[in-house]
Amino acid sequence: MKNIWITGASSGIGRALALKFANEGWQVAASARREDLLNEISELNKNISPFPLDVTNKEKCKEIFEQIKNKYQSIDICFFSTGTWDPKKEKDIDIDQMKNVMEVNFFGTLNCIKVVEKYFKEKNSGHISIVSSVAGYRGLPNSTGYGASKAALNNLAESLYFDFGRHNVRVSLVSPGFIKTPMTDKNEFRMPFLKTSEFAADKIYNGLVNGSSFEIDFPKELTLILKLLKILPNRLYFYLIKKLTKLQKL
């Protein structure tokens, strides 16, 4: 039986993925700050075990990973999907908000990667998957903290791809578009190609278990457009985004 550690497992994509892996017969170590929600999903499937964790606490990350290793002995995949977003605070430069977003989205993920680094490199196998967002592709309006944190994760994942690859450890990057979750429910604009968290879980599961690509991105209707925007010259990119945001009234 194979084992996966999932952070951000109390809601949204993390929750849906925990249930997906558990239903497929995997043992799931589910982490998030909200212990009550972790207990709820563990009651839905006996393959899910709660390991409450605030990823911004480096020492707690070490402690929880030791508990997970002791329980399962071997970890095959670590899926790090902790994230935060408050659109109302991103319309202006709110430095305290940006620090909080970076602390959770970037450094919280980095804390988790650090505690599994030695384990995977010594094991000489395994898989670390980092959840980013299409918001990390290029700068977007009203995304001073969130977009920057995701762009940082993109760059980090690319760097780690080489560093862990020398130890036969796979690193992958997950770039979701708009997925209906408690976090995206805060958005006040129309979200094109909006998909469910179950849709996301299916795509991620397939990419982690059956695929070998570095990036797992979805839905393709959106990500293909955004990948095209990535390679456009700045002047054309800025022009198109200004037009789009006027239509969206952002």
Neighbouring residues of 26: CB distance < 8 A, sequence distance ≥ 6: 1, 2, 3, 4, 47
4: tokens are: 């996966």
Coil, helix or strand at residue 64: helix
19: tokens are: 């249930």
d(CA 217, CA 236): 24
The span from the first CA to the last CA of the chain, in angstroms, equals: 48
Residues annotated catalytic, as ranges = 146
CB 132 within 8 A of CB 110: no
Q: Which residue has the tokens 């994230």?
A: 83
β-pairing, 170-176 vs 215-218, is: parallel
- Helix axes 197-209 and 12-23, enclosed angle (nearest 10): 60
d(CA 103, CA 94): 14
Neighbouring residues of 99: CB distance < 8 A, sequence distance ≥ 6: none
